[in-house]
Amino acid sequence: MRIVKSKRDLRALVSGWKTDKQEIGVVMTMGALHEGHLSLVDAAKTDNDRVIATIFVNPRQFDNKADLDTYPVDTDADLKKLEDAGVDLVYLPQADEVYPKGYSTTVAVGSMQDCLCGATRPGHMDGVTTVVSKLLIQTSPDRAYFGQKDFQQYLLIQRVASDLDLNVDVIGVPTVREDDNLALSSRNRRLSEEQRAIAPTLYKVESTIADLIRQGEAVDHVLEWGRKVILDSGFDRIDYLEIRSEEDLELLGDVTDRDNLLGGRVFVAAWLGNTRLIDNYPISR
Query: Radius of gyration (Cα) for the chain, nearest Å?
Result: 19
* d(C-alpha 164, C-alpha 58), whole Å: 21
117 touches ligand AMP by CB under 6 A = no
Active site positions, annotated:
37
Q: Are the beta carbons of 214 and 262 closer than 8 angstroms?
A: yes
Q: How far is the CB of 15 from ligand AMP (least distance, A)?
A: 25
113 touches ligand AMP by CB under 6 A = no
Stretch of 44-52, 78-86, 172-180, 215-223 contacting ligand AMP, by CB under 6 A: 172-180
124 touches ligand AMP by CB under 6 A = no
Based on CB atoms, which residue is closest to ligand AMP, 213 or 270? 270
Say how many C-beta atoms besides its own lie within 10 A of residue 186's C-beta.
19
Q: Which of 17, 39, 241, 278 binds ligand AMP (CB under 6 A)?
A: 39
Q: Which of 129, 186, 188, 195 binds ligand AMP (CB under 6 A)?
A: 186
In this structure, the strands spanning 264-272 and 275-282 are antiparallel
DSSP 8-state code for residue 251: B
- Looking at residues 209 to 228 of the shown chain, list those that interact with ligand AMP (rule: CB under 6 A): none
Residue 108 CA to chain centroid, in angstroms? 17
Stretch of 72-80, 109-117, 145-153, 198-206 contacting ligand AMP, by CB under 6 A: 145-153
* d(C-alpha 17, C-alpha 268), whole Å: 41
Based on CB atoms, which residue is closest to ligand AMP, 185 or 201? 185
Q: Which of 150, 206, 246, 279 binds ligand AMP (CB under 6 A)?
A: 150
Q: What is the DSSP string of 86-139?
A: T-SEEE---HHHHS-TT-------SGGGSSHHHHHSTTHHHHHHHHHHHHHHHH
Q: Are the beta carbons of 277 and 202 closer than 8 angstroms?
A: yes
Q: Which of 10, 14, 37, 209 binds ligand AMP (CB under 6 A)?
A: 37
175 touches ligand AMP by CB under 6 A = yes
CA distances for 90 relative to 14, 81, 110, angstroms: 12, 11, 31
Stretch of 33-41, 71-79, 160-168, 223-231 contacting ligand AMP, by CB under 6 A: 33-41
Q: How far is the CB of 180 from ligand AMP (least distance, A)?
A: 13
Stretch of 91-99, 173-181, 234-242, 248-256 contacting ligand AMP, by CB under 6 A: 173-181
Q: What is the total residue count of the chain?
A: 285
Residues of the shown chain interacting with ligand AMP in the complex, contacts defined by CB under 6 A: 29-30, 36-37, 39-40, 146-147, 149-150, 173, 175-176, 183-186
